Every structure is written in structure tokens, then in C-alpha cells.
């Protein structure tokens, strides 16, 4: 089959690799009909995530048709499914609690040592990501092997187009969980850093959950327009002092909840970020925490901080004093995708949520490398790339 | 008392008869010390002995690990005492068979493609609760171990706790070589317990291999 493979920093190529097959009893093989490039793929592309190897197949947002099943799968050949990026067994302590992205049994044993050393506990398996998260071949390919296919994939009806449901695989539930983690009360003011896909879906979700005002922060005019279109007010950080603006826009109180939908590669020329950028180029595992620092400074006393943005290593100059002295609550984590897919599919089918506004470009899989380059370099126009294998 | 697999073949029967009990006595002393360890002036704390800062006990290394598995004690005990089930999750075990005299004969992967022969006997067992074993004549390493099966709190299943005291072939240097080749019992034990957990909780052992022949 053809698949997009990682070759090195800013170097991805579509190559011919062996087709996947059923390996474990609960597996299914999916013939992929649509797959997207995620913002977190850009972290892999930039080489800032440790544990990626040359030749790894990337991609963790995909959907398609079931073409083969193991004896333990509940799917049938021909089923049309969206596949969550988190791989979860459904039976362990964490899955039973609904904490699917903390699954104990999806990361192969020999790959658990690294995260056990770095994070204190082994993390669960993810598609198309680092070998720390299992090194599972991803979905920017013609076919994918899906383990625990009786737990993860959600069957979608035939009538609905791919583009309306594809984002159930990651960014829609991630934006939704980000808003849920912000514990929004009716009338709250919520600030969202980053108007990428997750930030925009967090804006949309926060408004559905009853936020009075959502203030979105970015620097790309088109992305700010998309946020405005969803009902947010916007701040362009290249024009405005963000902290001062947030205080003034919230009557001197500060936002009740803040959402960092940027993560470890924040942009801009603030002094801390310039220093972090230099350090990140020299030392693996050092994250750029500028947005997180600002979010902690901005949030009101006793407010909530939600972090859907991806971090992988250490952040220094962390305003621990602000966190403690203001009595702030922090919630974060990889998305428990399987917890949200059914409810969100219903909301899509009822017309409450539309995700297609996000898609700016559709490319054949063969042109995936161009998609990566533009998604990184032309972020204003390239808001979301969907690949067709 | 340290013997390596290579010198083992030259050992005579009579010296084996003396050496094995001596070594086992050493292991027993190591496990005893482990349970009694405390710094001078500091009373013993509640932590398991294998987490002590001291890592060698005479010639012995002690390793141990616990894992919580969502299954009843009896079921896990049964798997642990069935040779055919053991090979299913102990990746480093090349073969294990039960001898007519009640001993188990193991061939275990050692560093750099070597194989280590181990003959063990269960010295004490309480069904569904506890199992103690030790190496006997014919083994290339001296080791003894204990496996405990406790009910986990809050209905989470069973805590399986496996502890091994062993003389690394080649002493300290041998231990580091084994570690470099990922044949260290501490690492192996951790991996094997996690594989058992996967097998029991999900019916399979997770792999990122896209094809059966790629599976390691």
C-alpha cells in the first residue's frame, strides 16, 4: 500500500510499504477513505516529539471501510467507521472509568519503559505517533490495522459525507473535552489561545455549553475570522497586549476559564518564548510554554485552566506562584475520545455541530508532503488538510 | 559462590550437592535481610524491602514488582502454576516443562542470544494466595522467588507481587551486561507481569506490528 512516512525533521514522503493484516484477535483492517493532518502531526514534523523513527507511518485522524476482521472484533466487513486516535482496550481499570486515553493495555510492553521513565507511568497507545505511545502505524495510508476494534471505532451511517464525521477521530472530541475541562458555568467568560482546529472546536463547544463570551487569541487574520464566525470575540496578539485586554474585556475580573489550545510550540517574540525556542533546538524534551504561562497569569482567581495543547517534556519559568496563590484548577490530558464519539455523532446528525467549515484543502494522499509543508508555513489559509488515499 | 553458565559444565555432581544448598541458604538470608532492612537509628518503614536503597544483598540481587489485574486470585494463581500458560506471557522463557520428579525445567533467554537453564521446585504453595520456588541441582543460576496474590482494594481485582532473589552470572559485571542486553530479571519481570495483565484483561498481547511476521 501507499503510506505517508516520516523520514526526518520536515521530511515526510509517501512510500510503498507492506499492507497490514490481522495480527491479534480483536483487530480490524480499515480501507481508509479520508484522513487528516493534525496540528500535533506538525509537532512530529518539526522533530520535537522524542521517539519517532525513520519510516514510521504518520496520521491519527482517519476513517474508512472495514475490509477484514479478527474473531474478536464486533465490526463487520463493509461497516463504515471513524477510528479514535487513542487505542483503548475497554477492559482495564482506566477504560472502565471512562479514562480511555489512560488505557493500561494498549501500549506494547516493550515500548512502555520509555514513558515509565520519563512520566512516572506508562502512557497508552496512539496511532501514528511516537514509539513512546506504542509506535503504531498511522492512518495517512491506504489501509490501517486497528487493534481493539470492538472498543474504539464508531460505525457511521452511509448517508453522511466523510467530512462531516471525520473529525470525531480526534479534534472534535478534543475541543469538546477542552471545554468540558474548563467546567463552564452559564454566562462565563472563556479565553481560548490558538485558533487552530482544536481551538476553534473548543470555541464552538464552549458556546454550546453555555459560555456567555468566548475570546479567541491568535495572529492569523483568517483563523481569527473563523473564530468570529463561530460567535467568538477575538484578540490579535500582534496588535494587542493580551493580558491587559483580557482584564479590560472582563471588567477587571479576568476570564473564568482559559484554554491553551497551542501546546509546546508557541509562537511569538516574547522574551520567554525566544529563550524557549533556542533551548528547544538544542535540548530534546524542552517545551515552549509561553501560552501556558500567559493563560495562568490571565485566569481569574479561583478560575479553571484547561490544556488540550500537546506537551511532551519540561517547561521551566512556570508561574507556580500564580497557580497556587490564585487557587486555580488545572485539567488536561490526551482526549478520552471513546467517551464522546456517540454524543458528538448525534449532535452532528441533528445539525447542532458542523465541522466542515474548517477544511481548507483536500489533497490526494500522494501530495501529503505538500500538505504538511503548507499546513506549517501557510497557517493563515491552510486551516485543515484532508487527504484522500 | 558465583558460577557462570560456562563453568557450570565442569562442576562435579558432589560439589553441586553442596553448592546448591549453600547458595539457597544465601538467598534465604538475602530475603530475610531484605525484610529487616533499616538504617541505623531509623525504624523500619512500611515500604517493601525491594525498594530499599541498598540493591545487593551479599552475592544476591533482589528484584520485585507488583501489578494489579482485573481478575480473581484463583484464576491468576492457576495461570501461574500451569507451564503451558506461563510460556504465553513470559517472553524470555524459551521452554518450560514439568519433570517426573515435580521439578520444572526452564530454558530462559540470557544476554546476547545465550540461553540459561534453570531447574526449579515449588517449596511452598497456598492455592490462590502464595507460591515460593527455588532453583535446584541442574540450574545454571541460583535463584529463589515468591509470588503473592492479594485481593486489590475497591474491587479492582488482584495484586500480583513477584519477587526474585538471584545471583547474576558473572557477579556485578554480569549483571550490567545482562542489563545492557535487556535480559535483566528486574526488567523481564516487569514486562512479564504486564504481559500477563494484557492477556488476562484483553485476551491478547498488544503489538504495533502491522503484519504477523513482524511481531517480535
Q: How far is B207 from chain A (nearest CA, A)?
A: 5
| Domains present along chain A, CATH in parentheses | 2-170+335-388 (3.90.180.10), 172-332 (3.40.50.720)
Query: What phi, psi does B161 have (nearest 5°)?
Result: -125, 115
Contact between chains at A25 and B203 (C-beta distance less than 8 A): yes
Residue given cell 496474590 in the structure block: B149
Substitution target in A104, A138, A145 with the highest count of B β-carbons within 10 Å is A104
Which residues of A lie inside 8 Å of B (Cβ-Cβ)?
18-21, 23-26, 72, 89, 91-93, 96, 104-113, 125, 134-137, 145, 147-148
Distances (CA, A) of B25 to A166, A346, B125, B172: 64, 67, 19, 20
For an interface test with A, give the residue of B69, B197, B206, B212 to mutate (most A CBs within 10 A).
Answer: B206
Closest CB to B197: pick one of A25, A105, A135: A105
Q: How far does the CA of residue A91 sit from the closest CA of chain B (Å)?
A: 6
The Cα A99–Cα A93 span in angstroms is 9
* Residue from the list A19, A20, A92 with its beta carbon closest to the beta carbon of B70: A92
Residues from chain A that touch B196, judged by Cβ atoms under 8 A, are none
Q: Which of A119, A137, A115 is nearest to A4 (CA)?
A: A137
Cell reading at B121: 521446585
Q: What are phi and psi of B143, to 5 degrees?
A: -155, 155
pLDDT in tens, chain A (389 residues): 999 999 999 999 999 999 999 999 999 999 999 999 998 899 899 988 888 999 999 999 999 999 999 999 999 999 999 999 999 999 999 999 999 999 999 999 999 999 999 999 999 999 999 999 999 999 999 999 999 999 999 999 999 999 999 999 999 999 999 999 999 999 999 999 999 999 999 999 999 999 999 999 999 999 999 999 999 999 999 999 999 999 999 999 999 999 999 988 777 777 777 777 777 777 666 778 899 999 999 999 999 999 999 888 888 889 999 999 999 999 999 999 999 999 999 999 999 999 999 999 999 999 999 999 999 999 999 999 999 99
pTM of the model: 0.89
Among candidates A25, A111, A125 on the partner chain, residue whose Cβ is nearest the Cβ of B204: A25
Which residues of chain B neighbour A124 with C-beta distances below 8 Å? none
Q: Which residues of B touch A111 (CB under 8 A)?
A: 208
User: Which residues of A are less than 8 Å from B205 in CB distance?
Assistant: 24, 108-109
Chain-chain contact of B209 with A23 (C-beta, under 8 angstroms): yes
Nearest chain B CA: its distance from A334 CA (Å): 19
The domain at B5-204 falls in which architecture?
A: 2-Layer Sandwich (3.30)
Question: Which segments of A36-87 does DSSP mark as H helices, in order?
Answer: 39-45
Q: What angle do CA B38, B41, B46 make, to 5 degrees?
A: 40
ipTM reported for the complex, 2 dp = 0.92
Distance (Å, whole) CA B116 – CA B110: 6
Torsion of CA A169, A175, A180, A184, to 10 degrees: -160
Amino acid at each position: 500500500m501507499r503510506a505517508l512516512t516520516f523520514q526526518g525533521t520536515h521530511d515526510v514522503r509517501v512510500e510503498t510499504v507492506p499492507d497490514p493484516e490481522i495480527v491479534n484477535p480483536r483487530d480490524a483492517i480499515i480501507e481508509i477513505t479520508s484522513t487528516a493532518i493534525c496540528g500535533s502531526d506538525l509537532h512530529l514534523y518539526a522533530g520535537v516529539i522524542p521517539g519517532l523513527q525513520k519510516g514510521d507511518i504518520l496520521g491519527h485522524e482517519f476513517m474508512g471501510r472495514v475490509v477484514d476482521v479478527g474473531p474478536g472484533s464486533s465490526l463487520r466487513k463493509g461497516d463504515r467507521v471513524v477510528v479514535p486516535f487513542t487505542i483503548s482496550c475497554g477492559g482495564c481499570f482506566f477504560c472502565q472509568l471512562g479514562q480511555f486515553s489512560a488505557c493500561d493495555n494498549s501500549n506494547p510492553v516493550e515500548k512502555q519503559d520509555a514513558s515509565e521513565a520519563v512520566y512516572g507511568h506508562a502512557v497508552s497507545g496512539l496511532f501514528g505517533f511516537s514509539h513512546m505511545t506504542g509506535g503504531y502505524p498511522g492512518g495517512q495510508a491506504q489501509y490501517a490495522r486497528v487493534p481493539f476494534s470492538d472498543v474504539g471505532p464508531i460505525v457511521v451511517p452511509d448517508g453522511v459525507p466523510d467530512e462531516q464525521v471525520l473529525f470525531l477521530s480526534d479534534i472534535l472530541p478534543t475541543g469538546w473535552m477542552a471545554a468540558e475541562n474548563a467546567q463552564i458555568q452559564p454566562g462565563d467568560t472563556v479565553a481560548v489561545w490558538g485558533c487552530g482546529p482544536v481551538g476553534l472546536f473548543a470555541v464552538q463547544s464552549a458556546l454550546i455549553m453555555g459560555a456567555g463570551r468566548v475570546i479567541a487569541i491568535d495572529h492569523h487574520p483568517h483563523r481569527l475570522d473563523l473564530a468570529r464566525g463561530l460567535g467568538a470575540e477575538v484578540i490579535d496578539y500582534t496588535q494587542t497586549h493580551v493580558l491587559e485586554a483580557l482584564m479590560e474585556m472582563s471588567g477587571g475580573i479576568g476570564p473564568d476559564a482559559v484554554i491553551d489550545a497551542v501546546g509546546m510550540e508557541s509562537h511569538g517574540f516574547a522574551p520567554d518564548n525566544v529563550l524557549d525556542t533556542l533551548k528547544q533546538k538544542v535540548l530534546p524534551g524542552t517545551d515552549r510554554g509561553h501560552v501556558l504561562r500567559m493563560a495562568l497569569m490571565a485566569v481569574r482567581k479561583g478560575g479553571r485552566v484547561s490544556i488540550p495543547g500537546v506537551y511532551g517534556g519540561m517547561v521551566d519559568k512556570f508561574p507556580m506562584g500564580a497557580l497556587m496563590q490564585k487557587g486555580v484548577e488545572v485539567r488536561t490530558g490526551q482526549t478520552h475520545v471513546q467517551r464522546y464519539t456517540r454524543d458528538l455523532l448525534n449532535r452532528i446528525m441533528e445539525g447542532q455541530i458542523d465541522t466542515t467549515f474548517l477544511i481548507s484543502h483536500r489533497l490526494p494522499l500522494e501530495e501529503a508532503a505538500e500538505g504538511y509543508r503548507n499546513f506549517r508555513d501557510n497557517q493563515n489559509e491552510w486551516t485543515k488538510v484532508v487527504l484522500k488515499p | 559462590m558465583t558460577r557462570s553458565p560456562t563453568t557450570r559444565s565442569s562442576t562435579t555432581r558432589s560439589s553441586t550437592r553442596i553448592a546448591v544448598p549453600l547458595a539457597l541458604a544465601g538467598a534465604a538470608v538475602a530475603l530475610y535481610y531484605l525484610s529487616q532492612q533499616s538504617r541505623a537509628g531509623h525504624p523500619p518503614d512500611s515500604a517493601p524491602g525491594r525498594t530499599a536503597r541498598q540493591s545487593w544483598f551479599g552475592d544476591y540481587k533482589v528484584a520485585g514488582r507488583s501489578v494489579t489485574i482485573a481478575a480473581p486470585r484463583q484464576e491468576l494463581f492457576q495461570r501461574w502454576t500451569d507451564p503451558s500458560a506461563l510460556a504465553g506471557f513470559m517472553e524470555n522463557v524459551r521452554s518450560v516443562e514439568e519433570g517426573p520428579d515435580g521439578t520444572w525445567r526452564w530454558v530462559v533467554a540470557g544476554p546476547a542470544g545465550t540461553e540459561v537453564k534453570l531447574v526449579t521446585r515449588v517449596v511452598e504453595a497456598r492455592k490462590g494466595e502464595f507460591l515460593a520456588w527455588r532453583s535446584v541441582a541442574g540450574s545454571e543460576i541460583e535463584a529463589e522467588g515468591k509470588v503473592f496474590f492479594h485481593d486489590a482494594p475497591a474491587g479492582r481485582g488482584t495484586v500480583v507481587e513477584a519477587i526474585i532473589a538471584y545471583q547474576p552470572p558473572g557477579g556485578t559485571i554480569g549483571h550490567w551486561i545482562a542489563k545492557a542486553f535487556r535480559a535483566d530479571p528486574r526488567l523481564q519481570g516487569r514486562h512479564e507481569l504486564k504481559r500477563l495483565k494484557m492477556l488476562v484483561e484483553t485476551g491478547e498481547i498488544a503489538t504495533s506490528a502491522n503484519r504477523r511476521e513482524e511481531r517480535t
